Amino acid sequence: MLPPAAHYVPDYIDRTHELALLQSIDKSAWLGDLKRRVQHYGFRYDYRARRVTNNSYLGPLPDWLSALADRLMKDDIFRARPDQVIVNEYWPGQGIAPHVDCEPCFGGTIASLSLGSTCSMEFSHIQSRQSLSQFLAPRGLLVLNGEARFNWTHGIPARKSDMVGGKKVHRERRVSLTFRTVVTTQAL
């Protein structure tokens, strides 16, 4: 179940496209300065300072991400073309702490495409503490707008399996591509 102003598009891409994306990702260099491996495109997000600056510009999105950014605009998911992508790799037992993506750094839409494996994402309303959970399948696109973007945290519990419909679903390697639009850049 999703927070208000969020939506989920199952099978946003097909299996052939998923495999091509994973191949492009695996040919690229990973950063290992977090508990999970990441790649940054467009702009590098500074996790310690929690900001994006002019000095963090890495260049235009590569073709394999640019085509997806164009499609996200064509499909009216973004009003402005996404210019920042973070690729996160999660192995069974890895997750990400509940958070709201940097508000002054990124626009009002966040879209995340899941590749490889499944997981459950948990949402918590910042004020009421109401909690919800959404199962994310490979090739599905999660879109956070408005209230879901700014008033709910989202995170992935660090575990090796999830309970879905009363059944235990084991996690495998999952890669997510999170598309965002940089709205502010500051000099260091």
Mean pLDDT of 134-152: 97
Please name every residue paired with 29 in a beta bridge, in sequence order, or none if there are none: none
- 2-60 pLDDT, tens digit per residue, is 999 999 999 999 999 999 999 999 999 998 877 889 999 999 987 776 788 778 899 99
- 174-184 pLDDT, tens digit per residue, is 999 999 999 86
Of the candidates 64, 61, 60, the one whose C-alpha atom is nearest the C-alpha of residue 17 is 64
3-state SS, residue 118: coil
What per-residue confidence (pLDDT) applies to 104? Answer: 87
Which CA distances in Å does 124 have to 99, 112, 121, 145, 149?
A: 9, 18, 10, 15, 11
3-state SS, residue 178: strand
Of the two residues 164 and 85, the one the predictor is more confident about is: 85
**Is 111:142 a contact under the CB 8 Å cutoff?**
yes
3-state SS, residue 111: strand
